[in-house]
């Protein structure tokens, strides 16, 4: 059978009841987010996947690394054993929806960096920390070294903990989240070093470093410019500038506040009628906030910047995922191999323990 309309989708979705969990990241298009059961930022969605006890399948409207994370958490050895050996399939509606930032840290590059760092300092001194926007293999690398995952919602808490474990951190793959968090923690700039994939970093700088940043960034948030923020604020001095910490440091430094997507949404929800905001994050979300809050003045930080990969989660692809479940012909299942999942789970659980 083929699902062609929202009505057909809803009828079949209703027949699945609690046996199906449809998750949606805040950056997916409005027409699709309306059809999801739970919405959230990366942290909330991984927690929903970890906590669910009733469903037989998850459809994850987001990007590849998110579905991998849901698979790792929903199919731990204990959970699978408790279900009598049954795995919960995690479906990604559009298999092309990846994350360019996650792709900026391949395992070959991370292994090469670790080996070269080991020629300068003892890698036993380094705790690897990866932003959740990374491949399962990079999370597994962190797990193998007793490291941890973080999200934009808990990066500060995670890095505070990481520095109680080891004197230095290798932060993957988002240099901006790493730098912004380190600066917020009061780490001096000379102790924050960028590791370039080819050039590496000067040996003296590495020896002096508390945080070694990976050379990655989100191509969406990286487009937001400090100069544009400055001129928009000059035009509208009463507006509050709120930005995501995936933006570069010069943008975050000018903002009134910076935080995860959930934080940005909360700031908007708590505003008073007539308040004005310039919002520096992904444009599907900013447009939705503007529609939902006509009592506020909400504008983008410059041109709207949509995440094209999130945009691939159209209703038609969600219909296609449900069709696969209904027909028993699963094609879009994201499965992390057991040995990678086991190590990645260590790093994810280290994060979840911190709350
Ligand atoms: P959060 O959902 O953690 O705010 O991250 C934003 C993002 O870029 C997701 O890919
Ligand atoms: Fe990746 Fe950036 Fe898109 Fe998030 S917004 S999925 S970090 S490219």
Q: What is the pLDDT of residues 303-326, one digit of tens each?
A: 999 999 999 999 999 999 999 999
At 235-255, the pLDDT tens digits run: 999 999 999 999 999 999 999
- The finding on whether 154 has its CB within 6 A of some atom of ligand 1 is no
Categorize the per-residue pLDDT at 111 as very low, low, confident or very high, splitting at 50, 70 and 90. Answer: very high
Mutate to test the pocket of ligand 2, among 29, 138, 307, 308 (most ligand atoms within 8 A of CB): 307
Q: What is the mean pLDDT of residues 68-90?
A: 94
Q: What is the DSSP letter of 295?
A: T
Q: What is the pLDDT of residue 9?
A: 98
Q: Angle, nearest 10°, between helix axes 107-118 and 136-144?
A: 30
User: Which residue is closest in CA terms to ligand 1's atom 10?
Assistant: 133
Kindly report the average pLDDT of the chain as a whole number. Answer: 97
Categorize the per-residue pLDDT at 26 as very low, low, confident or very high, splitting at 50, 70 and 90. Answer: very high
User: Which residue is closest in CA terms to ligand 1's atom 7?
Assistant: 42
- The finding on whether 307 has its CB within 6 A of some atom of ligand 2 is yes
Question: At residue 70, does pLDDT exceed 80?
Answer: yes
- The finding on whether 220 has its CB within 6 A of some atom of ligand 2 is yes
At 253-295, the pLDDT tens digits run: 999 999 999 999 999 999 999 999 999 999 999 999 999 999 9
Q: How many distinct helices (H) and strands (E) make up the chain?
A: 18, 13
Order of all β-strands in the sheet with 240-243: 257-258, 240-243, 276-280, 297-300
Q: What is the pLDDT of residue 121?
A: 98
User: Would you say 278 and 296 are in contact if contact means Cβ atoms under 8 Å apart?
Assistant: no
At 30-58, the pLDDT tens digits run: 999 999 999 998 878 878 988 888 899 99
Q: What is the mean pLDDT of residues 7-36?
A: 97
- The finding on whether 41 has its CB within 6 A of some atom of ligand 1 is yes
Q: What is the pLDDT of residue 291?
A: 98
Alpha-carbon distance of 44 to 39, in angstroms, equals: 8
Q: What is the pLDDT of residue 35?
A: 98
Mutate to test the pocket of ligand 1, among 43, 47, 68, 152 (most ligand atoms within 8 A of CB): 152
* CA–centroid distance, residue 260 to ligand 2 (Å): 12
Q: Which helix (H) or strand (E) holds 241?
A: strand 240-243
* CA–centroid distance, residue 27 to ligand 2 (Å): 9
Q: What is the pLDDT of residue 42?
A: 82
CB-count burial class (<10 Å; 0-12, 13-18, 19+) for 90? buried
Mutate to test the pocket of ligand 1, among 33, 42, 69 (most ligand atoms within 8 A of CB): 42
* CA–centroid distance, residue 42 to ligand 1 (Å): 5
Q: What is the pLDDT of residue 139?
A: 98
Categorize the per-residue pLDDT at 165 as very low, low, confident or very high, splitting at 50, 70 and 90. Answer: very high
Alpha-carbon distance of 211 to 155, in angstroms, equals: 13
Q: What is the mean pLDDT of residues 223-230?
A: 98
Mutate to test the pocket of ligand 2, among 24, 28, 42, 63 (most ligand atoms within 8 A of CB): 63
Q: What is the pLDDT of residue 49?
A: 87
* CA–centroid distance, residue 246 to ligand 1 (Å): 8
Q: What is the pLDDT of residue 108?
A: 98
Please report, rounded to a whole number, the percentage of residues in the chain having pLDDT higher than 90. Answer: 95
Alpha-carbon distance of 224 to 258, in angstroms, equals: 13
* CA–centroid distance, residue 29 to ligand 2 (Å): 14
Pick the ligand that lies closest to the CA of residue 42. Answer: 1
Alpha-carbon distance of 251 to 177, in angstroms, equals: 12
- The finding on whether 218 has its CB within 6 A of some atom of ligand 1 is yes
Question: At residue 188, does pLDDT exceed 90?
Answer: yes
Q: What is the pLDDT of residue 43?
A: 77
Pick the ligand that lies closest to the CA of residue 69. Answer: 1
């Amino acid at each position: 059978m083929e699902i062609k309309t929202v009505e057909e989708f809803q009828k079949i979705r209703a027949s699945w009841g609690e046996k199906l969990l449809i998750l949606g990241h805040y950056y997916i298009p409005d027409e699709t987010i309306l059809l999801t059961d739970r919405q959230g930022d990366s942290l909330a969605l991984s927690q929903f996947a970890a906590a669910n006890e009733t469903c037989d399948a998850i459809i994850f409207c987001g990007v590849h690394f998110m579905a991998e994370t849901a698979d790792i958490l929903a199919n731990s050895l204990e959970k699978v054993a408790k279900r009598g050996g049954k795995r919960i399939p995690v479906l990604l509606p559009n298999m092309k929806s990846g994350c360019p930032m996650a792709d900026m840290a391949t395992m070959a590059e991370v292994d090469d960096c670790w080996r070269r760092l080991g020629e300068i300092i003892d890698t036993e001194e380094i705790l690897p920390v990866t932003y959740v926007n990374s491949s399962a293999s990079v999370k597994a690398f962190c797990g193998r070294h007793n490291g941890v995952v973080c999200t934009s919602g808990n990066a500060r808490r995670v890095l505070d903990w990481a520095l109680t474990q080891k004197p230095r951190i290798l932060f993957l793959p988002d240099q901006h989240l790493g730098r912004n968090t380190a600066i917020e923690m009061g780490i001096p700039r000379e102790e924050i070093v960028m590791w370039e994939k080819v050039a590496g970093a000067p040996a003296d700088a590495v020896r002096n470093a508390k945080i070694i940043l990976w050379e990655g960034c989100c191509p969406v948030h990286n487009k937001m410019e400090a100069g544009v923020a400055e001129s928009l604020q000059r035009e509208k001095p009463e507006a509050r500038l709120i930005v995501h910490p995936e933006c570069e440091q010069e943008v975050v430094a000018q903002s009134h506040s910076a935080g995860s997507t959930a934080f940005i949404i909360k700031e908007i929800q708590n505003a008073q009628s007539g308040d004005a905001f310039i919002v520096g994050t992904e444009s599907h979300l900013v447009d939705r906030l503007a529609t939902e809050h006509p009592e506020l003045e909400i504008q983008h930080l410059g041109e709207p910047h949509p995440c094209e990969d999130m945009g691939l989660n159209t209703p038609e692809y969600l219909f296609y995922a449900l069709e696969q479940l209904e027909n028993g012909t699963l094609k879009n299942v994201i499965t992390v191999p057991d040995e990678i999942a086991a190590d990645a789970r260590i790093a994810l659980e280290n994060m979840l323990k911190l709350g």
